[in-house]
Structure 1
Amino acid sequence: MSEPVPLALRGASFAYEDGPVVLDGLDFEVRAGRALALLGRNGSGKTTLLRLLSGGLRPDAGRLTVDGEPVTYGRAGLTRLRTTVQLVVQDPDDQLFAASVAQDVSFGPLNLGLPDPEVRARVGEALAALDIASLADRPTHLLSYGQRKRAAIAGAVAMRPRVLILDEPTAGLDPDGQERLLATLDGLRAAGTTVVLATHDVDLALRWADDAALLTPEGAHTGPAAVTLARPDLLRRAGLRLPWGVAVAGLLRAQGLLAETAPGPRTAEELAAVVGPPGTA
């Protein structure tokens, strides 16, 4: 039996008004339960693709499907889509607008017409999932950048989507903030949310994702992250470099320090586990 495909674009093309074609005849699938990293050079169409997947843009040709059923772009169809898919944009200030964190997070569930007890429950769950429950009454304009990122994601999580899409979520965060956010995303994945993350960071993609999708001029190439991100030909066409972990694994295998079938290190800590900490050789 094939894996479920809750969200897919089939033969999708899109061009902005008076602009060139951004995507042409694209087939793209988001598989349930898989963490997917979307990568490509600037101008490759990553943000356009994310907006097509979330219903913010409508393809000029082709179709968007949810569970195999074409999405309609009237009010009912988009409401159904947005209870399945939520997009968090790169800049949280483009998404936050309410006076307090709790008010902002409650906006989506309120728009669904849910009763107040259900809205409160969803807000509480979302704030807890993002580890910002203590910020519920904090004015959004007094949040740090990392807190604003978390508040924006909480607003999407409160909709209880099956697919959560994030555009460059780690951009602008310090290393500790990145680690905390990735841990939060892992928690959401463990709770059953399928996560799609657009990034320029090939090292992050190799470490975090199950699958990687590379946007090239010829279309999207999707496969297991460890395999896809080890293909220099695809990376070159996507305008990306070889991940650190892939390069290090090649050196370790050449020196006989790593078996051909063993996975390569993705972090400095995993490298130390293979060769030992500095000064032990």
Structure 2
Amino acid sequence: MTPPPVVELVDAGYAYPDGPAVLTGVRFGIAEGRSVALLGRNGSGKTTLLRLLSGGLRCATGELRLAGVPVSYDRKGLTRLRTTVQLVVQDPDDQLFAASVGQDVSFGPLNLGLPEAEVRERVARALAALDITALRDRPTHLLSYGQRKRAAIAGAVAMGPRVLILDEPTAGLDPHGQERLLEVLGQLRDAGTTVLMATHDVDLALRWADEAAVLTPDGLRTGETARLLAEQELLDAARLRMPWGAAAARVLRARGVLSAGEAGPRTAEELARWA
């Protein structure tokens, strides 16, 4: 029997006060150990969806479930949710507030009432996972943008979530910073953390994510990344371009280099195999 998703929206809808519905009838679950890319045009509801999944917003219709059980929004229910699902917002300055990196990363575990020794251990593991141990005592206002991004993620990781949700985590980073962050996220995934990333970067989604979820005015489509991001009609509805890897796969199939069921390239290195 297949276990239920770690976290799941069932027939969920949401509308901001005095505004139209942003999301309607959304069904979206995240399974254990997956990497998922959430894509869609500006204003499609990506950030709203992330906030519903993390409990920052409450469904106006439908419900949020953890392991198949509806979430209650009392203190006990929200604590259970926030120790399972953690959201990192797009701008790290909206998340960092403590005087130093170490203090900021320790805030969440301390609020859980954990013993001091366990808090220290969690902070040390989170800083090491994000490769910022040397920044433990650095004032947060003296960090570079990339360092602030990683410090914000470390604060979420210190909570020990099963699902880590990131809103445009590579936005504003230079290419080296993007690659370093993706490497870190890959390590977190390999260690057992499920990662959901909202992004506009279709090429990044194709090479990084096991699954994709695409928001359009008609609703949410989910599926295996390479297949979903090769559907031109879906991409047009979401105002997304086709990833170069999917476009290259079309050319390779047209030339008989790839068979119909064979996976296409996700990276330049993979493309070079058929060059």
- Same-fold call, TM > 0.5? yes
Identity percentage over the alignment?
A: 71
The reply on whether 1:268 has 2:268 as its aligned counterpart is: yes
The aligned runs of 1:1-281 (5 Å cut-off) are: 1-275=1-275
Q: Shift of residue 3 of structure 1? A: 4.6
CA distance in 2: counterparts of 1:2 and 1:152, whole angstroms: 33
Asked if the contact 1:3–1:32 (Cα under 8 Å) also holds between the matched residues in 2, the reply is no
Q: Shift of residue 4 of structure 1? A: 3.6
Amino acid at match of 2:73: Y
Amino acid at match of 1:110: L
Amino acid at match of 1:222: T
CA distance in 2: counterparts of 1:256 and 1:224, whole angstroms: 23
SS in 1 for 2:215: strand
Amino acid at match of 2:22: V
Structure 1: gaps spanning 5 or more residues? 276-281
CA distance in 2: counterparts of 1:255 and 1:85, whole angstroms: 45
Amino acid at match of 2:179: E
SS in 1 for 2:34: coil
Structure 2: gaps spanning 5 or more residues? none
Structure 1 residues 77-108: Cα deviation after superposition (integer angstroms, max 9, x where no partner):
11110000000000000000001000000000
Structure 1 residues 144-179: Cα deviation after superposition (integer angstroms, max 9, x where no partner):
000000000000000000000000000001111111
Amino acid at match of 2:94: D
Q: Shift of residue 258 of structure 1? A: 2.9
State the TM-score, normalized to the length of structure 2: 0.98
SS in 1 for 2:176: helix
CA distance in 1: counterparts of 2:267 and 2:198, whole angstroms: 20
CA distance in 1: counterparts of 2:218 and 2:28, whole angstroms: 13
SS in 1 for 2:90: coil
CA distance in 2: counterparts of 1:257 and 1:61, whole angstroms: 48
Q: Shift of residue 273 of structure 1? A: 2.4
Structure 1 residues 174-204: Cα deviation after superposition (integer angstroms, max 9, x where no partner):
1111111001001000110000000001111
SS in 1 for 2:172: coil
Work out the number of aligned pairs and report it: 275
CA distance in 2: counterparts of 1:224 and 1:253, whole angstroms: 19
SS in 2 for 1:22: strand
Q: Which moved more, 1:255-264 or 1:6-15?
A: 255-264
SS in 2 for 1:62: strand
SS in 2 for 1:182: helix
CA distance in 1: counterparts of 2:203 and 2:128, whole angstroms: 28
Structure 1 residues 26-70: Cα deviation after superposition (integer angstroms, max 9, x where no partner):
111111111110000000000000000000000111100001111
CA distance in 1: counterparts of 2:115 and 2:219, whole angstroms: 44
**RMSD of aligned alpha carbons:** 0.9
State the TM-score, normalized to the length of structure 1: 0.96
CA distance in 2: counterparts of 1:32 and 1:76, whole angstroms: 23
SS in 2 for 1:98: coil
Asked if the contact 2:4–2:68 (Cα under 8 Å) also holds between the matched residues in 1, the reply is no
SS in 2 for 1:104: helix
Asked if the contact 2:37–2:199 (Cα under 8 Å) also holds between the matched residues in 1, the reply is yes
